[in-house]
Amino acid sequence: MEALKKYDMYINGEWTASSDGQYFESFNPATGQPWCYVAQGTSEDVERAVKAADNAFYNKDWADMTYTKRGHLLRKLGDLLSENVEELAEFETRDNGKLIREMKAQLTYMPEFFYYYAGLADKIQGETLPIDKKDMFVFSEREPLGVVVAITPWNSPLYLTFIKLAPALIAGNTIVIKPSEHSSASLLEFTKLIEKAGFPPGVVNIVTGFGADIGDSLTSHPFVSRVAFTGGEKTARNIVRNSAENFAQLSLELGGKSPNIVFDDANLYNAAMGTIAGIFGATGQSCVAGSRLFLHQKIYDEFMDILVSRVEKIKIGDPMSADSEIGPVATLNQLESIERYVETGLDEGGKLLLGGKRPEHMKEGWYFEPTIFEHTEHNGCITKEEIFGPVLSVMPFSEEEEVIKLANSTDYGLAAGIWTNDIGRGHRLSKRLRAGIVWVNTYRSISPIAPIGGSKLSGYGREGGLESVHDYTQKKTVWINTSSAPMSDPFIIR
């Protein structure tokens, strides 16, 4: 049998094993079999990585680098990414089961994140202040925070790294990235491009391993100024608690239970495609998954015919095949959790219209059929909790006010979809829905220019867009006394 590929970590510009030389297996969800080994980081490795990032932050090779030059570096990284889309797509598909067609499309677009932030490099500027004191010249400038920690989940390892990495670096920070133990390989492959682009050693460090082993030492480390986290609620609570130790600033991008609302005047075909994109794209393992579908009762039957007839034709298969439309879920744990939710949905009296089980023709690997539940009321666990799998809950409504209330009756606040041809209604609802992202007549659209993030149990902070760069900086205010006159009374404020 062929030996499994082995990945080391990347600390201070060097590839390194963990301090105790341990590796763990990473699985291919399409086969359920291990396909590579990844270095199992320890607290000592965290210490090495954070110290390397801290040193690099003060080292002149990075600290004195002009913003323009940092922009060139980031652009170069974007170019290298463009040249390596095919290979990186394959690594991510093998490691987390995401469709190769989606990965190629995603990674073909991803260089835009680097180009966008590279373009902002020389616009990270301060202001002169119209100060109300005589003989004082006062200005502010934006400076980097220091060492940033990025913690990413398994569902979109590269994208969710890029959206943190690009603004953090362009602002002049250094970074330690901890990818998910379930999907570290694509980032480690991408790290070879970071190396090639020529970032000084220690500016980007990757520590791999289990969150339970190294998460605390990473997020509570006194040298860490900011933690950018995407993942689950339980981990987020832990990170918030740890921030009481080092007062690290946080951005938390957690899950959702996002509503997709279809009105009777909508283009039903597009709305059905948007519904499928929302809940069955990425096998439903998306923070913005449109897992609650609210259908106006006038078009309920017509819409369901369109939806169901397309979902029945969805091709479940090997994610490496270009024609597969649903691949496996990323972990066995996640698959079993989805199965438990389906059981609960049935126990609660939901009507299972489609799916609800592992597909018979895919015996190997962690596959699950696209699943649709119909509910007459918006209550019960599966209409409230994030399932993070291909499970859709459908509910009818008849009035605008009613659906706003239903859509907002969730502990989450990440995303929402509205399908209507009434432009006024589109605007009205966008305002009233409690969600950080609202899509009208589209779903799952992304861009580096448009921030993402949520409220309530979906977390806080935004990623992407201009403000994201500002989040990776802090303002410094500088006062210059332009007068040479003798100082007056030193015991009063000036």
E strand or H helix that includes residue 234 = helix 233-246
Segment contacting ligand TXE (CB under 6 A): 55-63, 121-129, 227-235, 403-411? 227-235
The DSSP bridge partners found for residue 147 are: 174, 224
The DSSP bridge partners found for residue 206 are: 10, 177
Segment contacting ligand TXE (CB under 6 A): 16-24, 102-110, 207-215, 471-479? 207-215
Residues 376-405 that bind ligand TXE (CB under 6 A): 386, 388
**Which residue in this structure is represented by tokens 């096998």?**
283
Q: Which of 29, 167, 202, 255 binds ligand TXE (CB under 6 A)?
A: 255
- As measured in angstroms, the least distance from the Cβ of 236 to ligand TXE is 7
Q: Which of 40, 42, 106, 155 binds ligand TXE (CB under 6 A)?
A: 155
The verdict on 202 binding ligand TXE (CB under 6 A) reads: no
* Euclidean distance between CA atoms 322 and 192, whole angstroms: 26
> How distant, in Å, are the alpha carbons of 38, 207, 218, 417 from that of 44?
17, 11, 10, 45
Ramachandran region, residue 466 (left: φ > 0; alpha: ψ -120 to 50; beta: rest)? alpha
Maximal C-alpha separation, the chain? 88
Q: Amino acid identity, residue 93? A: T
CA atoms within a 13 Å half-sphere pointing along the CA-CB vector of 387:
35
Nearest to 171 by CA among 309, 67, 280: 67
The verdict on 231 binding ligand TXE (CB under 6 A) reads: yes
- As measured in angstroms, the least distance from the Cβ of 88 to ligand TXE is 19
Q: How far apart are the first and last CA of the chain?
A: 77
Q: Amino acid identity, residue 470? A: H
The verdict on 75 binding ligand TXE (CB under 6 A) reads: no
Measured from the CB atom, the residue of 71 and 211 that comes closer to ligand TXE is 211
- As measured in angstroms, the least distance from the Cβ of 354 to ligand TXE is 22
The verdict on 287 binding ligand TXE (CB under 6 A) reads: yes
- As measured in angstroms, the least distance from the Cβ of 20 to ligand TXE is 18
The verdict on 151 binding ligand TXE (CB under 6 A) reads: yes
The verdict on 246 binding ligand TXE (CB under 6 A) reads: no
Segment contacting ligand TXE (CB under 6 A): 128-136, 150-158, 435-443, 463-471? 150-158
Q: What is the DSSP string of 58-124?
A: HSHHHHTS-HHHHHHHHHHHHHHHHHTHHHHHHHHHHHH---HHHHHHHHHHTHHHHHHHHHHGGG-
The verdict on 185 binding ligand TXE (CB under 6 A) reads: no
Measured from the CB atom, the residue of 116 and 154 that comes closer to ligand TXE is 154
Q: Which of 96, 235, 324, 420 binds ligand TXE (CB under 6 A)?
A: 235
Segment contacting ligand TXE (CB under 6 A): 166-174, 177-185, 371-379, 467-475? 177-185
* Euclidean distance between CA atoms 284 and 279, whole angstroms: 5
The verdict on 181 binding ligand TXE (CB under 6 A) reads: yes
Measured from the CB atom, the residue of 285 and 420 that comes closer to ligand TXE is 285
Q: Which of 98, 178, 358, 434 binds ligand TXE (CB under 6 A)?
A: 178
User: Any residues with CB less than 8 A from the CB of 309 and at least 6 apart, and which?
Assistant: none
- As measured in angstroms, the least distance from the Cβ of 181 to ligand TXE is 5
* Catalytic residue status for 253: yes
Q: Which of 63, 105, 212, 478 binds ligand TXE (CB under 6 A)?
A: 212
Which one from 253, 325, 374, 386 is the annotated catalytic residue?
253
The verdict on 153 binding ligand TXE (CB under 6 A) reads: yes
At 132 the three-state DSSP class reads coil
Measured from the CB atom, the residue of 410 and 420 that comes closer to ligand TXE is 410
* Catalytic residue status for 287: yes
Say how many residues touch ligand TXE, by CB under 6 A: 25
* Euclidean distance between CA atoms 399 and 261, whole angstroms: 12
User: Any residues with CB less than 8 A from the CB of 352 and at least 6 apart, and which?
Assistant: 342, 345, 346, 371, 372, 373
The four Cα atoms 83, 86, 87, 93 give a dihedral, to 10 degrees, of: 140
Q: Which of 29, 71, 78, 211 binds ligand TXE (CB under 6 A)?
A: 211
E strand or H helix that includes residue 170 = helix 157-170
* Euclidean distance between CA atoms 75 and 65, whole angstroms: 15
The verdict on 161 binding ligand TXE (CB under 6 A) reads: no
Measured from the CB atom, the residue of 152 and 191 that comes closer to ligand TXE is 152
Query: 235 and 257 in contact (C-beta within 8 Å)?
Result: no
- As measured in angstroms, the least distance from the Cβ of 6 to ligand TXE is 20
- As measured in angstroms, the least distance from the Cβ of 337 to ligand TXE is 6
Q: Which of 54, 253, 318, 369 binds ligand TXE (CB under 6 A)?
A: 253
* Euclidean distance between CA atoms 467 and 462, whole angstroms: 8
Which one from 92, 189, 287, 386 is the annotated catalytic residue?
287
Q: Which of 78, 215, 319, 413 binds ligand TXE (CB under 6 A)?
A: 215
Q: Which residues are catalytic?
A: 253, 287
List of residues contacting ligand TXE (CB under 6 A): 151-155, 178, 180-181, 211-212, 215-216, 219, 230-232, 235, 238-239, 253-255, 287, 386, 388
